[in-house]
Homo-oligomer: A and B are copies of this chain.
């Protein structure tokens, strides 16, 4: 298994990036939070690019596992769809953080390519999952499901961003309700 320190650094880096972005990540603060020296981080992640790519990759891998646990061909796709916005809500619950990849999407111009690739993968797996669930839960064909999947993903990310800017999770809840009222989200 991987060392504890490596895992602790990744966990702290993930949290920091959700609050301050890739640009805002810095070795000394990270090290202080884990209780080590910044040079030690370089032992596990030679460069900042390596660290950034590692946490973005881990982020979408964890998301994939979570989504599959929510629905993976079972018998209640409509319920999974109802639950989907909650996967974004939890970030806001944790000190008003947002999706790592939403933040990094804003930072796109300053992102090294290896990090960009992992950020794209997060969107890909979310959209692919939503497409599958929508196809199972509604009578939309695959093309329509994918269009709707992209729309839902973008809209939920936008709702999370707005809620953060107000430091108010009820803004997120209200927006999700409005999406349902408008017909973007089923339910």
Quick one: which of A21, A151, A156 has the most chain B CB within 10 A?
Answer: A151
In the bound complex, do residue A120 and residue B157 qualify as a contact, i.e. CB atoms below 8 Å apart? no
Q: How many residues of A contact B (CB 8 A)?
A: 48
In the bound complex, do residue B151 and residue A178 qualify as a contact, i.e. CB atoms below 8 Å apart? yes
Which segment of A5-13, A76-84, A163-171 sits at the interface? A163-171
Residue A108 at the B interface, CB < 8 A? yes
In the bound complex, do residue B108 and residue A96 qualify as a contact, i.e. CB atoms below 8 Å apart? yes
**Nearest-CB distance from A172 to chain B (Å)?**
9
Number of copies: 2
Residue A182 at the B interface, CB < 8 A? yes
**Nearest-CB distance from A115 to chain B (Å)?**
11
In the bound complex, do residue A182 and residue B151 qualify as a contact, i.e. CB atoms below 8 Å apart? yes
**Cα distance A171–B127 in the bound complex, in angstroms:** 13
- Could you show 11 A-B contacts with beta carbons less than 8 Å apart? A23-B24, A105-B164, A123-B162, A147-B178, A148-B178, A154-B159, A154-B175, A157-B158, A158-B158, A183-B184, A184-B184
